[in-house]
């Protein structure tokens, strides 16, 4: 029977090669200590859970074959040949996968349309899909305890991120940051208004029309994370870095130049906040945003008058009623006046910034509702899948 299986496999591979198809190969490597930690290998008995490894291998092969290309690799379930090998050396367990389409490829979406290899089958699976498959392989092999550990950290990171995004409007659009936001608006390229985006670049990148605005926005976020949102930001970073340590445990030492998971997550957070700010600044008319200059001028004038009033001997009766009223009135609502830094503070709760705040909150509300609906749909899909598996099992037992 084994010889017959090998013969059929060889025949199918010969057919795939004859039809000019590529044979795709991938390799996975898992450290021995990871296998022990996840109850897959017992160092005392030297027994390995082969059934669990084979099941994980089958699931990964299915994912790559059906989702690794523009279309499923096979035109039906019998149009693909694949096999896998699992072996263990002194320190690692290695899994190798090979798979290929059997019949000649004729689908446009699966054939190169230009270049040196025009007319040949697509031969490369995107790297992100390969990494996704590797994560799927490890996830299926994890013990329930390790899986819960991963999920708790990811849930914590997501919770901190959600808290920061929801707190951003009220904490950014206040008196303390008004001057910085006005500076950002002033350097945004007006010929790109309505298309202001960070794009693929990092906020700190020094090239492109958005570079100056991105750099100023990054400084604004640094300030926000250092003061108003410091606890939330530190919690976000701490848990994200803890997940970095888990990734090193699971995957080994990072390659040179490879970005950490926590770095990518922080970039995503900063880009999201920056793009939200740009989006709503674009909806403010130039004449409306410029009222900040007028507000600043009025505030500085008031500050000057107050300074002059403080220098007058309080025993004198030369102060006018208007000056007395000005001296006793706080310059900024809900902010303790600091005369040494009055130039950095501005009353921004006027029409422009109230509009930005309102629009921003509308977006957050819409995103939250969309996320909740997605989770409800996912739960429904899982329930239906479980019911189908149960009914299938009952049918087989009959």
Do the beta carbons of residue 205 and residue 211 sit within 8 Å? yes
CA dist 65 and 57 (Å) reads 12
Q: Where are the beta strands (DSSP E) in 71-181?
A: 80-88, 92-101
Helix 261-281 × helix 178-187 angle, to 10°: 80
Whole-angstrom CA distances from 381 to 32, 125, 370, 384, 390 are 36, 27, 16, 5, 14
The pLDDT tens digits of the residues spanning 131-186 come to 888 888 888 888 888 888 888 999 999 999 999 998 888 888 777 888 898 899 99
The pair phi, psi for residue 22, each rounded to 5°, is: -80, 145
Closest CA to 332 of 308, 370, 306, 360: 306
* Long-range contacts of residues 44-51, Cβ cutoff 8 Å, at least 24 apart: 48/88, 48/93, 50/86
Which residue shows structure tokens 């250092």?
A: 226
Secondary structure tally for the chain: helices H, strands E: 13, 5
In 3D space, the residue among 143, 136, 147, 131 whose CA is nearest the CA of residue 49 turns out to be 143
Find all residues with CB under 8 Å of 271, minimum gap 6, and list them. 198, 203
Mean pLDDT of 217-232: 95
Candidate from 243-247, 312-316, 366-370, 384-388 with smallest mean pLDDT: 312-316
* Average pLDDT for 202-209: 86
Closest CA to 177 of 301, 349, 363, 351: 349
- Facing residues of 99 across strands? 24, 82
Q: How confident is the model at residue 35 (pLDDT cuts 50, 70, 90)?
A: confident
pLDDT averaged over every residue in the chain: 75
Q: Quick one: how far is CA 349 from the chain centroid?
A: 32
Domain positions in the chain are 2-104+124-142, 146-292+350-376
223 SS3 class: helix
Please report the pLDDT score of residue 388 as a whole number: 56
Instruction: Look up the pTM and report it.
Output: 0.55
Nearest CA among 200, 187, 359 for reference residue 264: 200
Residue 318 has pLDDT above 90, yes or no: no
Q: What is the pLDDT of residues 229-278, one digit of tens each?
A: 999 999 999 999 998 888 877 666 555 667 888 999 999 999 999 998 99
Q: How far is CA 52 from CA 2, 32, 92, 134, 187, in A?
A: 21, 15, 17, 15, 57
Q: Do 60 and 27 meet the contact criterion of CB atoms below 8 Å apart?
A: no
Helix, strand and coil content of the chain, in percent to the nearest 5, comes to 60, 10, 30
Q: What are phi and psi of 38, to 5 degrees?
A: -100, 20
Distance, CA of 193 to CA of 86 (rounded, Å): 56
Mention the CATH class of domain 2-104+124-142. alpha beta
Q: How much is the average pLDDT of 352-375?
A: 61
Token pair of 109 as six digits: 């979406």
Q: How far apart are CA 316 and CA 382, in angstroms?
A: 80
Contact 249, 35 (CB under 8 A): no
Greatest mean pLDDT range, 104-113, 121-130, 190-199, 215-224: 215-224
pLDDT for 144 equals 83
């Amino acid at each position: 029977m084994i010889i017959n299986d090998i013969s059929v496999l060889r025949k199918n591979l010969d057919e795939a090669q004859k039809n000019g198809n590529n044979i795709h190969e991938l390799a996975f490597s898992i450290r021995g200590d990871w296998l022990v930690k996840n109850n897959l290998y017992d160092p005392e008995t030297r027994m390995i859970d082969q059934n669990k490894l084979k099941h994980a291998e089958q699931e990964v092969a299915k994912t790559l074959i059906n989702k690794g290309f523009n279309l499923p690799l096979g035109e039906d379930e019998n149009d693909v040949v694949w096999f896998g090998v699992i072996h263990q050396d002194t320190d690692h367990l290695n899994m190798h996968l090979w798979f290929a389409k059997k019949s000649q490829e004729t689908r446009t979406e699966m054939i190169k349309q230009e270049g040196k290899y025009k007319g040949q089958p697509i031969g490369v699976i995107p790297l992100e899909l390969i990494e996704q498959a590797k994560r799927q392989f490890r996830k299926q092999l994890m013990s329930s305890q390790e899986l819960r550990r991963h999920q708790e950290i990811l849930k914590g990171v997501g919770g901190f991120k959600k808290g920061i995004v929801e707190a951003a409007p009220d904490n950014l659009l206040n008196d303390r940051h008004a001057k910085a936001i006005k500076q950002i608006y002033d350097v945004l390229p007006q010929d790109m208004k309505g298309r202001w985006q960070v794009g693929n670049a990092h906020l700190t990148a020094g090239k492109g029309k958005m570079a100056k605005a991105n750099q100023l926005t990054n400084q604004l976020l640094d300030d926000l994370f250092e003061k108003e949102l410091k606890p939330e930001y530190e919690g976000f970073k701490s848990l994200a870095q803890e997940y970095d340590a888990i990734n090193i445990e699971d995957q080994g030492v990072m390659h040179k130049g490879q970005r950490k998971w926590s770095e990518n997550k922080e970039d995503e957070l900063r880009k999201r906040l920056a793009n939200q700010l740009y989006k709503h600044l674009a909806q403010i008319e130039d004449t409306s945003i410029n009222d900040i200059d007028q507000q600043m001028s009025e505030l500085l004038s008031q500050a000057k008058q107050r300074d002059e009033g403080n220098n007058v001997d309080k025993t004198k009766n030369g102060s006018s009623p208007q000056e007395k009223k000005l001296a006793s009135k706080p310059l900024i609502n809900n902010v303790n006046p600091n005369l040494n830094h009055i130039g950095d503070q501005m009353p921004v709760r006027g029409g422009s910034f109230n509009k930005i705040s309102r629009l921003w909150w509308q977006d957050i509300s819409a995103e939250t509702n969309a996320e909740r609906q997605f989770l409800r749909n996912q739960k429904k899909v899982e329930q239906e899948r479980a019911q189908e598996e149960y009914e299938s099992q009952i049918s087989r037992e009959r």
